[in-house]
Amino acid sequence: MNDPSFVQTRWSLQDLLAATEGPELDRILGDLETAVAELEASRERLSPDLAEEEFVRLMALVERVAALSARLGAYSYLWYSEDTQNQEALAFRGRIEKLLTEVRNRTLFFSLWWKGLEEEPARRLLAVSGDNAYYLESLRRFRPYTLSEAEEKVINLKDVNGVQALITLYEMITNAFTFKVEIEGEIKEMSRSELMVYARDPRPEVRAAIYQELYRVYGKEGTVLGQIYRHIVQDWASEQLGLRRFPSPITVRNLDNDIPDAVVDTLLEVCRQNASLFQRYFRLKAGWLGLERLRRYDIYAPLRPADKTYPFPEAVEMVLDSFDRFSSVLAGHARRVLTDHHLDSELRPRKDTGAFCYSILPGLTPWVLVNYHGRAEDVSTLAHELGHAVHALMAAHHSPLTFHSSLPMAETASVFAEILLLERLLEEEPDPAVRRDILARFVDDTYATVMRQAYFVLFEREAHALVEEGRTTDWIAERYLANLQEQFGDAVELSDEFRWEWVSIPHIYRTPFYCYAYSFGQLLVLALYRQFKMQGQTFVPNYLNILAAGGAQSPGAILSQAGIDIASAAFWQGGFEVIEDMIRELETLS
């Protein structure tokens, strides 16, 4: 029975900060200043001979600074996300970004000292660092690419009014876009999230119209958005390649994720080699839709004339029940997000158009933002983002410096949550036609999570090189179209407006090379799910241990304990074998 308390509403940020002026904020700012000043006072005592007790005390201060900074930074971002045109929120965000940059610069000396230590004293202090050991080891991975303190401070200051300002401008411009499409004789003006509801509309002319309008609007501003991207890429190259001497643009992200370049290369190459698998699926789907060839407009088309919609309370109960069937621990953590009023699911103008989970501090219930329209994919998105929240709460016993998992591991709980939801839906559906639709939708989403994301990164690798060569925005757009043509082969008909899709992808602006984390996470979870089906309930404790590791170990170390070798092409191919099994089943249901 649906819980009437699960209503579609705005979140509350009271657990972070009650107001942007007043005694609570003053106290947090005062505590932050005290911790920073105390850490600064230790500077002259730092040496290779630093006593273990003193190092432990200083690390507690580092944790305190990180926790207070995270609270302030999270509030500024979450408030801004509620309404991306709110002038007060923008001003507060700017104020906090400036403050936190000053904090980073004032405390920078400590991480630089730590990176500069020789191996023997570093090992001695690591031995007493407890849960912060992996955080400290991760800092030392960047030792060869670290600059002087003065240079690092200049970069921090430069970023606030440089690349971060460009990203904010990109978000302001694109979140303000409106789209006009004629539907059933009526011109509708919509936000992007409202527009993309129609990507799964049963009417082919509507699907075509919304994509044409989407990329008409983005394409109209393509020169401006492309120029913003070029400046972001140039900044990345100037700092990461020119100053820090990383061997390639993507190495920066790989080192941050603690995944070797060779592993990422293997992952992307296996994805590339399996493009024909999804092309096979798209030919199958074209037949279901009565088309000779699928158009790019039709990738996510429903197979039945009308999609079922799910009232929000029903969707919540479906997600919680699917979690509970696997583990009551997962369900309990997910329920916390709702009962603590940390979920923003309502639709309103100027709200961030995407979906995310923001995990801030160990034990503090994460905040989740979705734009819930009642579609089946919205239920899946809800499961996905609540999965992220579960992951953070499972790792609540770690320090503020180690509870966040690395980007690729961050998708482990979210994608697994989607599969648990899929399993629940399939188990309860006896009709082969409906089962086909449910499974096809999952393969649609798997394409979007695995292949599409991998090809974004393949494009980014090329685009960074093109910007370095001085190529124009139009040239980059042409190469993006070629990227799509390789991805789809002759299975999908491409229209020219899709050359502007890349300027509509926030991740490539905000976090270069982020997107392979989705491919990594989905293929990993498919392999884990196969283990679950083979092992049954004996698998559950091992899976919970993976989540509980948080960011306290490297991805390779966490997964090796589950018998997974991420350097093996065969492992990644195993994920595609699960996808192929699904496509084979769909072929029998045709």
pLDDT per residue as tens digits for the range 159-200 = 988 999 999 999 999 999 999 999 999 999 999 988 998 998
Question: What does DSSP say about strands 186-190 and 179-183: parallel, antiparallel, or unpaired?
Answer: antiparallel
Q: Which CATH number fits domain 23-161: 3.40.50.280, 1.20.140.70, 1.20.120.80, 3.40.50.300?
A: 1.20.140.70
Q: Are 487 and 450 in contact (CB under 8 A)?
A: no
Question: Mean pLDDT throughout 121-142?
Answer: 96
The pLDDT value given to residue 52: 97
Question: Mean pLDDT throughout 361-384?
Answer: 93
* Least confident interval from 33-42, 71-80, 151-160, 467-476: 151-160
The pLDDT value given to residue 534: 87
d(CA 106, CA 198): 49
Distance spanning both ends of the chain, measured CA to CA? 34
The pLDDT value given to residue 199: 93
pLDDT-derived band at 5 (thresholds 50, 70, 90) equals low
For the chain, what are the domain ranges?
Answer: 23-161, 172-305+449-510
Q: Please name the helix (run of DSSP H) or strand (run of DSSP E) that holds residue 82, with its range, or none.
A: helix 52-82
Q: Quote the tokens at residue 267.
A: 């992952």
**CATH code, residues 172-305+449-510:** 1.10.1370.20
* pLDDT per position as a tens digit, 442-490: 999 999 999 999 999 999 999 999 999 999 999 999 999 999 999 999 9
d(CA 230, CA 353): 24
DSSP 357-394: EE--STTSPPEEE----S-HHHHHHHHHHHHHHHHHHH
The pLDDT value given to residue 1: 44
Query: What residue has token string 């929000």?
Result: 312
Q: State yes or no: pLDDT of 590 exceeds 80.
A: no
* pLDDT per position as a tens digit, 12-39: 999 999 888 899 999 999 999 999 999 9
Q: Average per-residue pLDDT in the chain?
A: 94
Q: State yes or no: pLDDT of 79 exceeds 60.
A: yes
d(CA 440, CA 299): 11
* pLDDT per position as a tens digit, 551-572: 999 999 999 988 889 999 999 9
**What does pTM read for this prediction?**
0.84
Cβ–Cβ contacts within 10 Å for residue 245, how many? 10
Greater model confidence, 589 or 342: 342
* 3-class secondary-structure state, position 3: coil
